[in-house]
Amino acid sequence: MRNQFYNYITSLQDTIVQGLEAVDGRAKFVEDIWKRPEGGGGRTRVIENGAVFEKGGVNISGVHGILPQSMQDYFKVSNPDFFACGLSLVLHPKNPMVPTVHANWRYFELYDEKGEIVSQWFGGGQDLTPYYLFDEDAVHFHQVCKTACDAHHPDFYAMYKKKCDDYFWNTHRSEARGLGGLFFDYCKPTSEFSLEQWYNFVSHIGDSFLEAYVPIVEKRKDVSYTKVQRDWQEIRRGRYVEFNLIHDKGTLFGLKTNGRIESILMSLPPHVQWHYNHSPAENSEEEKLLKILAQPIAWV
Q: Which residues have a catalytic role annotated?
A: 102
C-alpha–C-alpha distance, residues 224 and 66, integer Å: 51
Q: What is the CA angle 144-204-153, rounded to 5?
A: 80
**CA 36, CA 157: separation in Å to the nearest integer?**
36
CA 272 – CA 280 distance, rounded (Å) = 17
Judge whether 251 and 267 are in contact, CB under 8 Å: yes
As a whole number of Å, the end-to-end CA separation of the chain is 33
Measured CA to CA, the distance from residue 246 to residue 28 in angstroms comes to: 31
